[in-house]
Amino acid sequence: MSLFLSAAISGVALGLLYGLIGFAIVMLYKSTGVANFAQGSLATLGAFVAFTFVRDLGLPLPVAILLALVISAGIGIVTFFVVMRPRAEAGNLNVTVRTLGLSLLLLALMEWQWGPQAPYRFPSIVEGSGITVANVVLTPQNLLVAGVSAAIAALLWAFFRYTKAGLSLRALAEQPETARLLGLRSSRLGAMTWAISCILGTIVAVLLAPSAFLLPTMMDSYIMFTFTGIVLGGLTSFPGAMLGCVIVGIISNVTIVAFNFEMSVVVIFVLMLIGMLLKPQGILGKPDAVRL
Amino acid sequence: MIAGDAKSNTLVPSVIIASGVTLAGVALPLDTSLQYTLIASVAWAIAAVGLDLLVGYTGQVSFGQAAFVALGAYAVTALRVHLGFPLPLAILVGVGLVAGIAIVLGSIVLRLRIFGLAVSTLFFGYVVITALMGDGLAPIFGGSNGILAPTFDLIGTDPRALMLMSGIVLIIVVLVTANITSSQTGRALRMIKHNEAVASATGIKVKRVKLFAFVYCSVLAAIGGVLYSGVVGYLSPDGFGIDQSISIFAMMVVGGAGTIGGPILGALLITVVPGYFLRDGHTSAIIFAAILLVFLILLPEGLYGLGQRAIAGIRRSLRRVWPQRRSSSVAVVASDAEGEADLRGGASRISAARMELPGDTGDGPALEIDDIRVQFGDFVALDEVSIAVRRGSVHAIVGPNGAGKTTLLNAVSGLYVPVKGEIRLLGESTKGLLPHQIRQRGVIRTFQTPATVPDLDVLENVKLGLDADERSSFWIDFFGSLTTRKRERALEAEAHWALDAVGIPRSRRTLMVKGLDLSEQKRVELARGLVGHAKILLLDEPTAGLSVAEMDVLAQVLKDVHERFDLTIMVISHHIGFILEIADELTVLDYGRVIANGEPDEVLKRQIVAETFLGVEAEPDALAQEENA
């Protein structure tokens, strides 16, 4: 029983990580109508950048992570201007498939550069034996994930509530046309959205890498579970995405412990279908009304 | 809309493309490796053509196409290997199984919009591959080691015979798909792509048609999979992963979505270039992704569009060389004027036939809205609204923006369901009826922005209005003009009289609707309603955006069809002059409630109406807003 309980607890931590990526995906979806399928590969790339700094340049881990975050932001901005913005009028499907193409391109580049020797062992960020509460061990990794997630959630909340850039992004997400007419600079904001998405992705990948081993396809199953969490929680709701992702994190972890990985994939898929049948707009999502 | 315009008349170019590939594969002296790559690309092309029907024509998405290819290949192979089924039976059962899976999956995931559909189909692909890789099904499917697929009887491993067979299957698939897209079903698909709500109000059974497209797409994938298994001789889950699903999607995009022939070209480019010319895994993966991105960003129309533009350019320069070709286009213009001249004659001829239709005899109101309330979450859009529309009358609805006028029409046409109250059509309650069922009872609807299908021509748009009265089997749509010619001719005749009735000249009926002006688009939409044996016409701001002259034309057209076809009309308009000219009765809505009802002249004189609608007592800037609205 305590095995399941600790699986559930690390599931919560995992779900929080999904939630952070989910947050990036929802933000992009709300402001541009594009589902970013490249989020996983972009995140993995960030982790590889940090790893290279540590292994090849011998930088201390915190410095390497910090540098990787800065570089991720740059990659996000370049992605926006090179891949997303040109001829965006070709439609949302076109741009969504571009993210899939980008994902394949990044994956191919990472396989070419780092693939042959993968998987790598990514250094742990925290050491120690953790805290024991009523027979259940809270590992330092789980505590770190929970702490970072809470901190980032608070930071993002403040950002979207109090800063001009955050408010502008919200305006763009709610009413893109009106926001543009009011003079918000949509390309600058778009670039910022991509930078934030990539930073969030890198944070998640760096937190995952110590326990998941670093390899180019590391995020494949994670990104799938993240999307499931978003669909379950509601496509357009930030708290919904977080909630859905945590549910998925717990259930996937418990089914892996109870059965195996394949079973957990099937269970999560069935969960998604049931969610779609019962609440197509998601747990906290609003049904979208069509204007006629 | 998610993808660009779909193309009409793709049958000939697409069959040429498919035959060209087949001929090249059979006749050219290619080395065996290239030959096998080519045959594999034909198998993928079949899956990509299926995907085109779903994405390019219906506007839905599937990112799990490779999983359906895998299911087809594995099911047929397993049936042959483990149960010893002969090939034809194995194909029948195997493809049937895939169709069954597609029906179950489709009826769940097609309820979602694009995002949910994309995620769930992608996930489905992931589940299928994980299951095939896993140990649980390994005894049947070989797990990650894969399974040997027996060769096809009669054909064996001779590459030319395999190529010929795959090519013939491809040509048949192209023929059938092109037939479907240019049939009544195809028009319905393209309307759904443009706007589902409008499609259902026009009488299309949206869920069923979407499911058909999804199942068709999956079945073609399975057929491609069967061919693939016979060509490669060995199946491993690796070849059908998410990246392959994306590859198939890429084939369609690179070739050109909504073209049928394009995806074949895309399949060739994406399979042959990285697979044969660049055998090194890393480089080929990088080049493939780069090709995809370049096409998506720089050439969203794809290879097909590129070819079409090139051919158009060649024609133009040919015309410059032989200027006599111009004369034919001049002749067309001349005959246009004649067509316009006998317009009235055509209309009166039709109206005589129309009179023989059994009309309704009864004295009650045509439409009774009885104390309804419509709510969105906490927001009450309509409350305690009761309106009786007399049979044969023109009933106008006015009110400021946000008063709930369009919501009222949406409730009548079944797009919104009132939480309270009842709507009766000719005495019968519409409770529990879906939009297309209400449409079948004779309620026709137009929308604020004309809800026509921009990439279909005028005639085809009007034919869509007859979908609800469609009696013949939809299977005949598979065989093209062989089986549909008679019906198409009948539909065309009806479309022509409706267009006569609304005064769209013959010369403009073969144009794409997006090339018409707003007033014409509105009349095309009206014609689409008229063909469908309308009893009650719901018009949502037909005057918005029209000039005074255009408004006069519209008023004449409406008066004319109202009298000739014995219609009851409910019309929303902001234009008082227009209302006074055509309306028998007027209802004023404000904040979701009826505030006045009666003779138009009399109602407009009331103080409360003057205040809310005309803004007499209101602030000057509020008045300006009213006028802008």
Sort out which chain A residues have CB atoms less than 8 A from B113's CB and list them.
288
Give pLDDT tens digits for A153-185. Answer: 888 888 888 888 888 887 877 777 777 788 777
State residue B279's pLDDT score. Answer: 63
pLDDT at B32 over 70: yes
Closest Cα in chain B, distance from residue A91 (Å): 6
**What is the number of CB-based contacts under 8 A between chain A and chain B?**
150
- Best B198, B293, B375, B410 member to test A by mutation, with max A CBs in 10 Å, is B293
CB within 8 Å: B119 and A273: no
User: Does the structure show a pLDDT above 70 at B60?
Assistant: yes
Mutate to test the interface with A, among B1, B51, B104, B115 (most CBs of A within 10 A): B115
Task: Report pTM.
Answer: 0.85
Is B119's CB within 8 Å of A35's CB? yes
What's the mean per-residue pLDDT of chain A? 84
CA nearest neighbour of B560 among B587, B519, B505, B523:
B523
Q: Under a CB-based contact definition with an 8 Å cutoff, are residues B76 and B95 in contact?
A: yes
- As a whole number of Å, the CA-based R_g of chain A is 19
Distance from CA of B350 to the nearest CA of A (A): 32
Domain ranges, ordered by start, for chain B:
11-308, 363-442+535-629
Residue B334: pLDDT band with limits 50, 70, 90? very low
Which of chain A's residues have a Cβ under 8 Å away from the Cβ of B63?
100
Q: Give the closest of A101, A261, A277 to B296, CB-based.
A: A101
Mean pLDDT of B70-94: 91
pLDDT of residue B577: 85
Cβ–Cβ below 8 Å for A111 and B63: no
Please tell me if residue A94 touches chain B, with a CB cutoff of 8 Å.
yes
User: Does A220 contact B at CB distance below 8 Å?
Assistant: yes
Q: Give the pLDDT band of residue A292 (cuts 50, 70, 90).
A: low
Are A292 and B115 an interchain contact pair (Cβ–Cβ within 8 Å)? Answer: no
Residues 183-202 of B with CB under 8 A from A: 195-198
C-beta of residue B566 within 8 angstroms of C-beta of residue B359: yes
Cα angle vertex B587, ends B582, B592, to 5°? 140
CA B65/CA B216 separation, integer angstroms: 12
Distances (CA, A) of A14 to A149, A248, B268, B389, B488: 10, 9, 42, 60, 58
Residues of B in contact with A38 (CB under 8 A): none
What average pLDDT does this structure show over B41-46?
A: 94
Chain A within 8 Å of B6 (Cβ-Cβ)?
A: no
Q: What is the per-residue pLDDT for B471?
A: 55
What pLDDT, on a 0 to 100 scale, did the predictor assign at position B336? 38
Whole-angstrom Cα distance, residue B184 to residue B205?
A: 13
Q: pLDDT at residue B350 above 70? A: no
B280-306: b (≥16 Cβ within 10 Å) or e: eeeebbbbbbebbbebbbebbbbbbbb
A135 pLDDT band, cuts 50/70/90, is low
**Peptide bond before residue B237 is cis, with ω within 30 degrees of 0:** no
Chain A, nearest residue to B256 by Cα:
A94
> What pLDDT, on the 0 to 100 scale, is given for residue B352?
38
Q: Which member of A91, A272, A288 has the closest CB to residue B123?
A: A272
Residue B434, helix vs strand vs coil: coil
Q: Which residue has the tokens 């029983």?
A: A1
| pLDDT higher than 90, residue B263 | yes
Paired residues of B512 in beta bridges: B457
| Contact across the interface for B119 and A93, Cβ inside 8 Å | no
Contacts of B283 in chain A (CB under 8 A): 112
Fold of B11-308: ABC transporter involved in vitamin B12 uptake, BtuC (1.10.3470)
**Could you read off the pLDDT of B474-523 as tens digits, one per residue?**
677 777 777 777 777 878 888 888 888 788 888 888 888 888 888 888 88
pLDDT single digits (tens) B524-559: 888 888 887 778 889 988 888 888 888 888 888 888
* Residue B68 confidence (pLDDT): 96
**pLDDT for B84 beyond 90:** no
Per the CB < 8 Å rule, is A108 touching B130? no
Within 8 A of A115 by CB-CB distance, chain B residues are 282
Alpha helices in A33-85, H assignment, sequence order: 39-57, 61-79
Residues 268-287 of A with CB under 8 A from B: 269, 272-273, 276-277, 280, 286
Contact residues on chain A for B280, CB-CB shorter than 8 A: none
pLDDT at B79: 92
ipTM field: 0.85
**Domain B363-442+535-629 is classified in which CATH homologous superfamily?**
P-loop containing nucleotide triphosphate hydrolases (3.40.50.300)
**Angle B235-B237-B243 (CA atoms, 0-180°, nearest 5)?**
120
pLDDT of residue B106: 93
CA end-to-end distance (rounded Å), chain A? 54
pLDDT confidence band for B346 (50 / 70 / 90) = very low
**Does B406 contact A at CB distance below 8 Å?**
yes
What residues of chain A lie within 8 A of the CB of B296, using their CB?
Answer: 90, 94-95, 97-98, 101
Per-residue pLDDT tens digits for B105-164: 999 888 887 778 888 999 999 999 988 888 778 788 877 778 888 877 767 778 888 899
Q: Do B293 and A102 touch (CB under 8 A)?
A: yes
Predicted pLDDT at B218: 96
- Closest by Cα among B239, B211, B237 to B100: B211
Nearest to B293 among A105, A221, A260 (CB): A105
CB contact under 8 A, B297 and A35: no
Instruction: Give percent of chain B with pLDDT exceeding 90.
Output: 19
> For residue B288, what is the nearest residue in chain A, using CA coordinates?
A105
Q: Nearest residue on chain B to A288, judged by CA atoms?
A: B113
Q: What does the pLDDT look like over A47-93, one tens digit per residue?
A: 999 999 988 888 888 899 999 999 999 999 999 999 988 887 777 77
pLDDT tens-place string over residues A222-276: 888 899 898 888 877 788 888 999 999 999 989 988 888 888 888 999 988 888 8
Q: Which of residues 143-182 of A touch B (CB under 8 A)?
A: none
Say if residue B349's pLDDT is above 50.
no
Whole-number pLDDT of residue A190: 86
Residue B230 banded pLDDT, cuts 50, 70, 90: confident
Among chain A residues, the shortest Cα distance to B448 is held by A292
- E strand intervals along B377-474: 379-389, 394-398, 420-425, 428-429, 443-445
Asked if A271 and A251 touch (Cβ cutoff 8 Å), the reply is yes
Between chains, do A272 and B2 touch, taking CB under 8 Å as contact?
no
> Taking 60 as the threshold, does the pLDDT of residue A217 lie above it?
yes
Residue B414 has pLDDT above 60, yes or no: yes
CB contact under 8 A, B2 and A92: yes
Partners of B406 on chain A (C-beta within 8 Å) are 292
* Average pLDDT score, chain B: 82
Model confidence at B278, in pLDDT bands (50, 70, 90)? low
pLDDT at B598 over 50: yes
Chain B residues in contact with A277 by the CB 8 A cut-off are 108, 111
Residue B358 reports pLDDT greater than 50 = no
Least confident of A193-207, B169-183, B377-391, B456-470: B456-470
- Checking if the pLDDT of B390 tops 70, the result is yes
Q: Flag whether residue B415 sits within 8 Å of chain A, measured between CB atoms.
A: yes
Q: Give the pLDDT score at A194.
A: 92
| Region A40-53 average pLDDT | 92
Give the alpha-carbon dihedral of A171, A177, A183, A189, to 10 degrees.
Answer: 60
